Structure 1
Amino acid sequence: MILLAATPIGNLGDASPRLRETLEAATVIAAEDTRHTAQLLRLLDIENRPELLALHDHNEHEKAASLVERAAREDVVLVSDAGMPTVSDPGFRVVQLAAEHGVEVSAIPGPSAVITALAVAGLPTDRFAFEGFLPRKAGERSRALSALAAERRTLVFFEAPTRLAASLADLAAAFGPGRPAAVCRELTKLHEEVRRGSLAELADWAAEGVRGEIVVVVGGAPEVAVSAEAALAEVQQRVVEGERLKDATRAVAEATGLSARELYAAALEARAEGASA
């Protein structure tokens, strides 16, 4: 089988007994960085010296098939440098191919920077979306954030410390400077820090320079009460701009929480009244 093994994101004490047992017994480990994994084995006092195979962003597409073929004959443990493989880390293509070829995939649960940051951020956790790393280029980043501005769920991002200030400034511009957020730095490590505040406040703080592994958690867009009249006007404007009535009604209903059926009926009634006037 393919066995996805979550490794510590900082504190080695978070390595579970099951992870230790698996690493001690493994014959083959596919690792994001073989040197990092070899060091992890030493730090965990793992005496086993399994075969270490490199599996990273640059070679996963070409290595996935051979790994899955091998996993059909023997267990292959898959690890990333930290946290759960496949989550903004290598492994997805391997799991996808394994599923297609009927090779079993299992996991050893463990540390996750996404879940840890979400838990300590102090923002709603009932519904959230993980967006990974934002685009590096400013224009692409701004477009991506504009598409997320109305998202009601709490959003979780990874970010490099060198781009944190620029990304927070872009978040403030796209979501509004007052949107609540948290920057979680060096989670589970000696210098762990959780900085909470508005996006504008956090952008100002980050401008001075921030180090370490970063997770940014941003509160979802607040609910905006929209009257039926305003929603109908939005539908009519969309239709004037060339959108089909049904599509316009559906989009506005989803954005406002109003009934699509009632909006559609109101639009038809308004159209009929306009035609008879």
Structure 2
Amino acid sequence: MRRVIRKVFRNKVFDRKVVLITGGCAGIGRALALRFAQAGARLVLLDLDQAALDSLAQHLADHHNAQVLALRCDVADAQAVSAAVALAVERFGGIDVLVNNAAIAQSSPFAETELAVFQRVMAVNFFGALHCTQAALPSIRARRGQIIVLSSLSGFAPMLQRSAYNASKHALHGLFDTLRLELADSGVNVMLVCPGFTATDIRKHALVGDGSVTPQPLPLVGKVYSPQDTAEAIYRAAVRRKRLLVHSNVNWTARLLARFCPRLFERLLLPRLSGLKPS
């Protein structure tokens, strides 16, 4: 009986809730849009590709009877984010869940990476999440909702030739761990998500040192999750309002070694995780 009650509860948690997902057209963002639509949520999707947004919105409406507001928005632009969030609140009355998913990758040695690359990666990965959270927070607080932030395995276990990307993910932990403490009495949940290697297109569009896109997709190492696998794990963690989700085949090993045995981590795991040696 308890199992049945829990199952019914899980199926109703996000029914009619308003879920805003950045980077919602592809990869984990798209998979999350589909999963929350299946749960009955109303969706606000932000991305840069309007045609892809319109196509996904039509698919969600046709196959899941979902209400969707699909907006072209660069999360690095604070004014554009503010306008998009205002439209979402006007359309649906508020925001219950914010998923800060939009991100870009980088792969180049620090000494060969131009300042503009660091600025662009931070603008999207860190300031994009900051802009969206600042804009949506009043509504989320009023609804006692939650903020979900897509970090990475590199948020606690650094990878070689990813200095800009690693820095942006570490910055997310600093910001949102602090925000969680400040919102402790508000009823708002803040969850950081650290996926491992997931088969998305972000690795195909990583920036190299001069700001161009890598000619070679970043390597995937070890067990690789599908976007649907990761989205399902995030959805279930959101139902439970967890603080941290580490979804990776090397999660606790890498995390513990990186923190308590850094030399051992650097010798045994770092080259493999960075894709510089065979797994």
TM-score tier, shorter chain, comes to 0.3 to 0.5
| TM-score relative to the length of structure 1 | 0.34
Identify, as 1 or 2, the structure richer in helix: 2
Larger radius of gyration: 1
